Amino acid sequence: MKIVKGLVLIVGTASFAIGLFMIFIKPQLQAPPKHWFEIVPIGDPFPSATLASPSGQRTSTEDLLFGKWTVLSFLGSPSYAEGSYPPVIQERFGHDRIQFVSILPGDTDFSDGFMPSGLDFWYDVEGTLERTLEIPSHVREHAYWTFLVDPSGRVDFSMVNRLKPEELRMLVESRLADKRDPLETVPPAENVAGTQLPDLRLLDWEESSTVGLPKGEDFSLVYFPGSSCADCAANKVQIQISRMSNMLSGTSSPTLYVVLSRHIPFQEVKTLFEPIKGRVYRTAEDYPLLEDPYLTLAGIGSQPYVLTVSARGLVERKIALEDWLQIHAISN
Amino acid sequence: MKFIIMVITVLVGSAPSLVGQPAEYDVEVLLPQLSVRWSHGMAHGPDGKLFVADRDNHRVLVLEDDQVVEVFGGIGQKPGELYRPSSLAHRDGRLAVVEQGNFRVQIISTEGIPQSAFPVTFVNEYVALGPDDRVLLNHPESGYLFSSYSPKGELRTQYGKLITEKEAYPGRANGSQNQTSLNRVQLQADREGNIFAVFQFIPLVQKWSPAGVKLWQRRLESANIESLVKGLWEEPGGIHYSTKSVAGEEKMPVIITASCLTARGDLIVVLADQALFWISGDGVTAGPVLPRGTARIVFHAVSEFEGTLYFASASRLYRSVGTIELAMSSATNNP
C-alpha cells in the first residue's frame, strides 16, 4: 500500500512538474528564431575563411578585409544599379579606402555570368562561410547577405538582403566622409514636391546664352535626368516628344519647359528634340534637387518626369512624364 | 509656442440636424523645406516635442516650436543608430522605435540615448508602450493580436483573438489566405495601459484592457468607408500592404493609414482617403471629419497636441489649421 501511495505521489509530482515546465517553456517555444545579429554580431571580426580568386590566387578573409573599408556581398553579386555604383563610390573616396568584394560558393561557375567592373570576386573554397553564416530562416528567401566591414576587419553593418543604392551611399558617406548627421547626406531627388525650385541657370537651344525660368507664373517643367539619357534612343522618347509637340500646339497648352541634364550628350540627341526646340534647355550646372548626383556620375539614366511649379516657385507635384502625358491626353 | 488651437465641439447625439453632416478640416505644410521619407510613426511628448520616425532617412526628427531641434540615429546598427525606423511610440520619457531594416525594436530616451534593443522576426510597423515598461507589438503570425515584451525582448504575454475573414467581412469565405493581413493593427496605449487596436484592412477599432480583456469594438461606417472597402477587395491580387503610383499619386489598398490618441483619450483614425474618424475613448460616440478641397494626401502617421493634429505623408509633414466642429453620433457597440 505504501508502495502504491509512493508511486501515486511520484506520478502526481512528475505530472505537476511537467505541467509547470510546459507553462513556462511555452514562451520559449514561441521565441523568435536566431537574428542575424546573433550569428555575426556588429563589432565582431568577420568570420575567418580561405578564399580563392577565379584565377586561383588564395587569400584569407583576415588579409583581404584588412586596411580599408569593404562592402562585402556574400552568396551573390551586388546589383547596385547594374554594378555602376561601386566604381563611382571608389572614385569618390579612393580605391585605397574602400573596396567591393563578392564571395561566392566554391562551386559557382560564373564564367558566362555578369561580372560587374570594380568588384573583386572570391570563392569560399572550403564552404566555411556558408556553414558559419547560416541564413536565418525568416529571411531565407533572400539567400543573400551584405556586410560593411571596417578597416580592422570588424563588421560595422550587415543585412540579409541587398542594400538599395542610396542606402549604400548614405552608409558609405557616414563612415568615410564622417557625415554622422543624417541631415548632411545628399538630399534625395525624389521628394521635391513642396520645396522651392532653385533658380536654374539654363542654356538655350543654341547654347549661346543663359536664361532662367519665369517668375510669377505657373509652369510645368519636363526634366530629363541622368548622364546617358538611357531612353533617348528609344522610340518611347520620340513618341513622348511628338505628344508634347501636339499638346503645345493646342490652345489649352500649359506653359511648358523641357530641361535636359547637362550630363546628357546633347549633340547626340539634339535632333530628337527638334520639334519642340523652342522649349528645350540644358542645365548649366548640377542641381541635386533635380537628380541624384551619384546616378549622374555612375552614368545611370533615370526616367524623365514633370514638375508642376506654382507662381511662387513652389514645386507642387512630381509625376512621371509618361503618366503626365496620359493624363493630359485624357483631360483634352 | 506658436500653435494654432483647434476648437473641438463635441455634440453627442444632441443635435440631429448636425448628425450626418460631417465636419471638415484643412491642413498646411509644416516646414516646407523639410523632406521626410516614409514616416509611419510620430508622437508628441507632454512638453510638446514632436518625434517623427523618418524611415528612409534612417533618423528620428525632434521638433519643438515647429522647428527641427534634434536628430537621432543615422544609418547603422550600433546602439543609437537606426536603419529604416518606420514607427515609434512615446511614453514617460522613452521612445520605442521599430527598425524595419534591422528587424529590431530599440528603446531610446527622449534625449536620444540608447537604452536597450531586441530583435524581432517580423517587421510589422506599429508599436505601443504600455505601463510597466511593456513593449507591445502586433504579430498576428504568432496567433495572437498582441505580443507584450520587456524592453530587453523577453516575451511576457500574448493575447487577443484574431479576427477571421468571415467576421471581418460577412459574406466572404472563411479562408485563411488573408488572416494575417486582416489582423494587421496599429496600436495605441492610453495612460491606464488600455490598448486600442486599429485594424488597417477592416474599418474596425477595438479596445482591450491591460489584462487582455476586450472592452469594446466599433465598426466605422460612412459612405467613403464603403467606397474604400470596395476598393480594397477590387485591388488585383487581393489585400496586401503596399503602395503604388497611379498617375503619380499614391494609392494604398488599405482602409486605415494612421491613428493616434488625443491627450484626453479620444482616438483619431485616418482613412486612406484623408478623411478622419474621431472616436471617444469609451467607444460610445464617433464622428467623421472630411478634408476640405479635392486634393487627397495619404497620411501615414498622425499625432495630436493641444488640439492641433500633425500628419506625415510619404514626403512631408502637415498640421491642421482652423477649427473642426465635430458632430459625433452615438452608436451601440457592434460585436
Each residue of B104-156: pLDDT tens digit?
Answer: 999 999 999 999 999 887 776 689 999 988 999 998 988 999 999 999 999 99
Residue A12, φ and ψ in degrees, nearest 5:
-60, -45
- SS3 for chain B is CCCCCCCEEEEECCCCCCCCCCEEEEEEEECCCCCCCCCCEEEECCCCCEEEEEHHHCEEEEEECCEEEEEEECECCCCCCECCEEEEEEECCEEEEEECCCCEEEEEECCCCEEEEEECCCCCCCEEECCCCCEEECCHHHCCCEEEECCCCCEEEEECCCCCHHHHCCCCCCCCCCHHHHCCEEEEECCCCCEEEEECCCCEEEEECCCCCEEEEEECCCHHHHHHHHHHHHCCCCCCCCCEEECCEEECCCCEEEEEECCCCCEEEEECCCCEEEECCCCCEEEEEEECCCCCCCCCEEEEECCEEEEECCCCEEEEECCEEEEEEECCCCC
Cα A62 to Cα B181: distance, rounded to the nearest angstrom? 45
Sort residue A56 into left (φ over 0), alpha (ψ -120 to 50) or beta.
Answer: left
Q: Write out the three cell numbers for B176.
A: 485563411
Range from A123-127, A315-319, B272-276 carrying the lowest mean pLDDT: A315-319
Instruction: Assess whether pLDDT exceeds 80 at residue B240.
Output: no
Q: List pLDDT tens digits, range B173-207.
A: 766 777 888 899 999 999 999 999 999 999 999 99
Q: What is the CA radius of gyration of chain B?
A: 19
Q: Write out the three cell numbers for A57.
A: 590566387
Report the pLDDT value the prediction gives residue B330, as an integer from 0 to 100: 57
Cα A238 to Cα B175: distance, rounded to the nearest angstrom? 49
Pick from A174, A195, A318: which is nearest to B33 by CB?
A195
| A314 touching B (Cβ < 8 Å) | yes
Q: Write out the three cell numbers for A227.
A: 548622364
Q: Which residue has the higher pLDDT, B8 or A152?
A: A152
Pick from A156, A194, A324: which is nearest to B29 by CB?
A194
Cα A90 to Cα A82: distance, rounded to the nearest angstrom? 16
Sort residue B143 into left (φ over 0), alpha (ψ -120 to 50) or beta.
Answer: left
Q: What is the CA radius of gyration of chain A?
A: 29
| A156 touching B (Cβ < 8 Å) | yes
Q: Is B248–A138 a contact, with Cβ atoms under 8 angstroms apart?
A: no
Residues in chain A with CB shorter than 8 Å from the CB of B121 are 32-33, 35, 136, 138
Residue B262, φ and ψ in degrees, nearest 5:
-85, 170
**Residue A301: pLDDT band with limits 50, 70, 90:** low
**Residues paired with B330 in a beta bridge:** B285
Residues in chain A with CB shorter than 8 Å from the CB of B142 are 30
Best mutation target, B60, B120, B121, to test chain A (most A CBs within 10 A): B121
Q: Which residue has the higher pLDDT, B124 or B235?
A: B124
Residues in chain B with CB shorter than 8 Å from the CB of A142 are none
Cα A308 to Cα A327: distance, rounded to the nearest angstrom? 13
Report the pLDDT value the prediction gives residue A178, as an integer from 0 to 100: 66
**Residue A82: pLDDT band with limits 50, 70, 90:** low
Cα A143 to Cα A163: distance, rounded to the nearest angstrom? 13
Q: Which residue has the higher pLDDT, A46 or B165?
A: A46
Best mutation target, A142, A170, A318, to test chain B (most B CBs within 10 A): A170
CA distances from A267 to A99, A191, A290, B248 (A): 36, 30, 22, 31
Q: Are A104 and A126 in contact (CB under 8 A)?
A: no
- CA–centroid distance for B166 within its chain: 24
ipTM of the complex: 0.82
Q: Are B232 and B253 in contact (CB under 8 A)?
A: yes
**Residues paired with B246 in a beta bridge:** B249
Please name which of A261, A262, A259, A255 lies closest in space to residue A308, comparing C-alpha atoms.
A255
How many residues are there in chain B? 335
| A142 touching B (Cβ < 8 Å) | no
Q: Is A183–B71 a contact, with Cβ atoms under 8 angstroms apart?
A: yes
- SS3 for chain A is CHHHHHHHHHHHHHHHHHHHHHHHHHHHHCCCCCCHHHHCCCCCECCCCEEECCCCCEEEHHHHCCCCEEEEEECCCCCCCCCCHHHHHHHHHCCCCEEEEEEEECCCCCCCCCCCCCCEEEEECCCHHHHHCCCCHHHCCCCCEEEEECCCCEEEEEECCCCCHHHHHHHHHHHHCCCCCHHHCCCCCCCCCCCECCCCCEECCCCCCEECCCCCCCEEEEEECCCCCCCCCCHHHHHHHHHHHHHHHCCCCCCEEEEECCCCCHHHHHHHHHHHHHHEEEECCCCCCCCCHHHHHHCCCCCCEEEEECCCCEEEEEEEHHHHHHHHHHHC
Question: In chain A, what is the greatest distance between 2 CA atoms, to the nearest angstrom?
Answer: 114
**Residues paired with B321 in a beta bridge:** B26
Cα A124 to Cα A15: distance, rounded to the nearest angstrom? 51
Q: Write out the three cell numbers for A204.
A: 538655350
Residues in chain B with CB shorter than 8 Å from the CB of A170 are 58, 75
**Average pLDDT over every residue of A127-133:** 82
Q: List pLDDT tens digits, range A242-277.
A: 888 877 776 555 688 999 888 888 887 888 888 888
Selected residues 164-183 of chain A with any CB under 8 Å from a CB in chain B: 166-167, 170-171, 174, 180-183
Please name which of B120, B37, B97 lies closest in space to residue B300, comparing C-alpha atoms.
B37
Please name which of B285, B264, B150, B146 lies closest in space to residue B212, comparing C-alpha atoms.
B146
**Residue B39: pLDDT band with limits 50, 70, 90:** confident
Best mutation target, A39, A191, A330, to test chain B (most B CBs within 10 A): A191
Distance from A266 to chain B by nearest Cα, in Å? Answer: 28
Pairing of strands B276-279, B285-291: antiparallel
Which of A23-37, A186-200, B12-26 shows the highest mean pLDDT?
Answer: A186-200
Q: List pLDDT tens digits, range A84-115.
A: 778 878 887 889 999 998 888 776 665 555 55
**Residues paired with A265 in a beta bridge:** none
**Residue A26: pLDDT band with limits 50, 70, 90:** very low
Cα B290 to Cα A94: distance, rounded to the nearest angstrom? 55
Q: Which residue has the higher pLDDT, A47 or A245?
A: A47
Q: Are B24 and B292 in contact (CB under 8 A)?
A: yes
Pick from B142, B247, B315: which is nearest to A194 by CB?
B315
Mean pLDDT of chain A: 76
Beta-carbon count within 10 A of B220 CB: 22
Q: List pLDDT tens digits, range A135-183.
A: 554 444 455 788 999 999 999 999 887 787 778 888 888 898 865 544 4
**Which residues have CB under 8 Å from A84's CB, separation 6+?**
A116, A298, A299, A300
Q: Write out the three cell numbers for B107.
A: 528603446
